[in-house]
Amino acid sequence: MKVVEAIEAIRNEVIAAKQTGLSIGFVPTMGYLHEGHVSLIEAARKDHDFVVLSIFVNPLQFGPNEDLDRYPRDFQRDEQIAQKAGVDVIFYPSVPEMYPTNMPMSIHVTSGVNVLCGSSRPGHFDGVATVVMKLLQIVQPNEAYFGQKDAQQLAIIMNMVDAFNVPVIIHGCPTVREEDGLAKSSRNVYLTKEERDEAPFLYEALKEGAKLIRSGETSRAFIRAELEKRLESGSGKVDYIDVLSYPSLEQSERLSGKVILAVAYVYKNARLIDNYIVDIQGEK
């Protein structure tokens, strides 16, 4: 496994692989890898001959009061995990390598951003879309892999690739969970023991909401109210609860088709997100 830091170097690695007829699977991350990231790498490894992993903590997607400086980083650990999982090359650029001057332009996302995480993080998804577009143009993979835990991000990236006719397939992989149901996240390390013991109730609430939908309930307001009741018992506070169409992320008071139940919950030092996607016709 190689580690490269320059854009030219990763391009040369990919070009060389393509010239020998290899297909390219790409997994973009911000590092501090966990089992969720490993599942993305394994999916890329299964589908493709050559796997590229990027590790880049993107400053554009952090607000002024968010946790950019304390976002967990451990490259040596990440390198070991990536090698064991079957990565061929890690692209590990610096901020100046990705943004050598003030960016003269960026992507402005206009659909699907005024809900869920976007409603409380203005500009966040502009930063996500901009860095993902740059990474896709740099690596130019056949397929890129993202986790469904960040379902809003996944939907926006899928819509972006479609809107700009980017020749890459976006593959959404199922959320990887702890045995008790808590979604794997790099930010879980910030939970106290008591918070960690309590946190699986987020997924339990989402499953109960999905059960109501499968039983025939189509009122968005009712489902939201039921979720809120269940989450009131926790020691943290709700950032948002919503039920939306997916992947269009539109609000409709009567649910139909594929919908996402989503929650963000704030503890003392960690903000957790989770979701559950249900098809009204029965396909999960």
Residue 266 has pLDDT above 50, yes or no: yes
Superfamily holding 2-173:
HUPs (3.40.50.620)
- pLDDT tens digits along 13-23: 999 999 999 99
* Predicted structure pTM score: 0.86
The pLDDT value recorded for residue 132 is 98
Active site residue 37: yes
Which residue has better confidence, 200 or 189?
Answer: 200
Q: Backbone phi, then psi, for 202, in 5-degree steps?
A: -65, -50
Identity at 8, one-letter amino acid code: E
Binding residues for (R)-pantoate: 61, 153
Across residues 199-217, what is the average pLDDT?
96
Question: Is 90 strand, coil or helix?
Answer: strand
| The two domains 2-173 and 186-279 share their CATH topology (first three levels equal) | no
CATH code for residues 186-279: 3.30.1300.10
Which position among 37, 48, 124, 171 bears the catalytic label? 37
Lowest mean pLDDT among 36-45, 109-118, 210-219, 235-244: 109-118
Across residues 134-160, what is the average pLDDT?
96
The secondary element (H helix, E strand) that includes residue 50 is strand 50-55
Residue 236 has pLDDT above 60, yes or no: yes
The pLDDT value recorded for residue 139 is 98
Residue 282 has pLDDT above 70, yes or no: no
Angstrom distance (rounded) from CA 231 to CA 204: 10
The pLDDT value recorded for residue 103 is 81
Residue 8 has pLDDT above 50, yes or no: yes
Which among 56, 53, 77, 73 has a CA at the least distance from the CA of 1?
Answer: 53
Question: Is 177 strand, coil or helix?
Answer: strand
Across residues 67-84, what is the average pLDDT?
91
Binding residues for ATP: 30-37, 147-150, 176, 184-187
The pLDDT value recorded for residue 284 is 42
The pLDDT value recorded for residue 283 is 46
Which among 250, 278, 258 has a CA at the least distance from the CA of 115?
Answer: 250
Domain ranges for the chain? 2-173, 186-279
